[in-house]
């Protein structure tokens, strides 16, 4: 079965970082990981920018296994639209970045 990573970069509304972090970690990730195809999710905070300009300080990585990635993405969007996925206005919805990557090679680990 194909495996994917959905990667999102976001930021909170100024002055609402605690609310944003609580919602993302304690509400959003648990809700998203109940959806079919979702295997895990984890958040990160940008520690260093190696190239370019990164003004989005938070990263979420979602692990997905499915034969129908478009169906999973449609289900996520529909769940956000109908309220099954609880959203917050503490996220700066005017500025975010998201991609879906399909796994194409074996994982290489240090020896």
Number of domains in the chain: 1
**Position 23 in a domain:** yes
Decide: 36 and 72 in contact? Cβ < 8 Å. yes
Helix (H, G, I), strand (E, B) or coil at 70: helix
Cβ atoms within 10 Å of 24's Cβ, excluding its own: 20
**Position 27 in a domain:** yes
Structural domain harbouring 21? 3-90
Quick one: pLDDT at residue 77? 94
Quick one: pLDDT at residue 54? 80
Provide mean pLDDT across the span 93-98. 93
**Position 106 in a domain:** no
**Position 99 in a domain:** no
Q: Of 29, 98, 103, 108, which Cα lies nearest the Cα of 66?
A: 103
Decide: 4 and 64 in contact? Cβ < 8 Å. yes
Any idea what DSSP says for residue 9? E
**Position 98 in a domain:** no
**Position 101 in a domain:** no
**Position 100 in a domain:** no
**Position 78 in a domain:** yes
Burial class (CB within 10 angstroms; exposed 0-12, middle 13-18, buried 19+) of 25 = middle
Provide mean pLDDT across the span 6-30. 97
Provide mean pLDDT across the span 9-19. 97
Q: What is the pTM of this model?
A: 0.93
| Residue 42: CATH number of its domain | 3.30.70
pLDDT tens digits along 36-94: 999 999 999 999 989 888 899 999 999 999 999 999 999 999 999 999 999 999 999 99
The length of the chain in residues reads 111
């Amino acid at each position: 079965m194909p495996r994917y990573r959905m990667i999102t970069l976001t930021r909170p509304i100024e002055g609402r970082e605690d609310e944003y972090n609580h919602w993302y970690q304690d509400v959003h990730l648990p809700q998203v990981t109940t959806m079919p195809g979702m295997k895990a999710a984890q958040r990160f905070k940008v520690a260093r920018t190696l190239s370019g300009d990164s003004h989005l300080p938070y990263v979420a990585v979602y692990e997905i296994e499915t034969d129908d990635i478009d169906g999973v993405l449609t289900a996520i969007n529909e769940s956000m639209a109908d309220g099954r996925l609880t959203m917050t206005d503490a996220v700066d919805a005017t500025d975010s970045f998201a991609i879906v990557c399909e796994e194409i090679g074996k994982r290489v680990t240090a020896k």
